[in-house]
Structure 1
């Protein structure tokens, strides 16, 4: 597997990691071009544990990022100190990161993902559960708020804020919701939906697929072995 871009993502990147948090890694790899053409093409994603890492082949990464996937998209917005592998093609990918963005998909993806987290919180009840369940609930709640916060910032400014400036706000929110205050999460969701509705985004209505396609073809040429 030939990595072209990789880095540390998740709670560590956001500034929300605790002593028990895993260190998550995400990366893009390039398969040999001819390996994609046969009867048994290469796996498009590889996932490992210990260390926790997810690697996407360049084409799959591009598709997921064009679809607005928040987890995948953050790789190209990481601060430099969190990047572990950066090749020339990785630099080019960072250089076209705005090409993946569009206002409707940012809204749908971030709010949609946050809504999934909220439904998990609603299903857990009023806080009268085990310490382990409460811990998971706090995690879901703080990531709900984080998704809303990052998604709206991206929608309003065209930039992804990876490292949160006030991580304690998100940690406190998680603990409050885990203690049973589901209405606090419900109100946060409603507030961010109102913000999205009121904002005018600088992002285009559609991503720049031509720029992404051109990058992917450069990857394919770079890994096309001579006959």
Structure 2
């Protein structure tokens, strides 16, 4: 197991957070930590790949605060959802402050691209896989992939329309059924979801700004660095 200190925020993400977990699902956790500020003055500062630590026993991904903030500014969906969970396993004062400024990371274009744009590109890959006549294992993975792409489309649209992200799905069974239909070769149902989402995005009015509020984000990150001098 990877050792991480100065954890600021952590919680269970993925299928368990969405309400899509099955008996076979792993429990995925995501956390954010602060490296000692002095390390950023050395020859090998904890940035880039060095700013992420991954453990598989249990399944946990840890991002250093600076990298986490950068990923959130890009509205990376997997990273962004940590700020919108219903409950947390670790929630420090600095983690609480980060949750309080979560809308500062958002921008209209990035939300649409990160959620809808990514889902479209991935659905095209599914479309090229075949007609559903593949192995049982591949079909299971395709079903999971499809339902999570539908989730991204719908969560992204909510975030675009309202500036709020609801992580837990209201009707998990719909996503399970959708995934099974796509895996069985019903690509028309996937095309229908994408077409409606594109229309909804085009018609939606968004409260999100054109650019994120980087000044607010930077003020939080500087507070983290000051706290761990």
TM-score range with shorter-chain normalisation?
Answer: over 0.9
Match of 2:55 among 28, 40, 48: 48
1:70-129 per-position Cα deviation (integer Å, ceiling 9, x unaligned): 11000010002xx10111100000010011011111001101221233133113210001
Unaligned ranges ≥5, structure 2: none
CA RMSD in angstroms comes to 0.9
- 1:27 Cα offset (Å): 0.8
Distance 1:53 1:120 in 2: 28
1:32 pairs with 2:36: yes
Aligned to 1:72: 79
Aligned to 2:203: 198
- 1:50 Cα offset (Å): 1.9
Distance 2:99 2:170 in 1: 22
- 1:40 Cα offset (Å): 1.4
**Between Structure 1 and Structure 2, how many residues are aligned?**
222
Distance 1:146 1:60 in 2: 25
Judge which range, 58-67 or 182-191, deviates more. 182-191
Distance 1:116 1:20 in 2: 27
Distance 2:132 2:23 in 1: 23
- 1:191 Cα offset (Å): 1.1
TM-score scaled to structure 2, two decimals? 0.95
1:44-89 per-position Cα deviation (integer Å, ceiling 9, x unaligned): 1011112111110000000000011111000010002xx1011110
Distance 2:226 2:34 in 1: 11
**SS of 1:6 mapped into structure 2:** strand
- 1:182 Cα offset (Å): 1.3
**SS of 1:8 mapped into structure 2:** strand
Match of 1:123 among 98, 110, 128: 128
**SS of 1:89 mapped into structure 2:** helix
Aligned to 1:102: 107
1:128-207 pair list within 5 angstroms = 128-207=133-212
Distance 2:152 2:215 in 1: 28
Would you identify which runs of 4 or more consecutive aligned residues in structure 1 move more than 2 Å?
Answer: none
Match of 1:59 among 57, 66, 69: 66
**SS of 1:5 mapped into structure 2:** strand
**SS of 2:178 mapped into structure 1:** helix
Aligned to 1:85: 90
1:6 pairs with 2:13: no
Distance 1:194 1:16 in 2: 26
TM-score scaled to structure 1, two decimals? 0.96
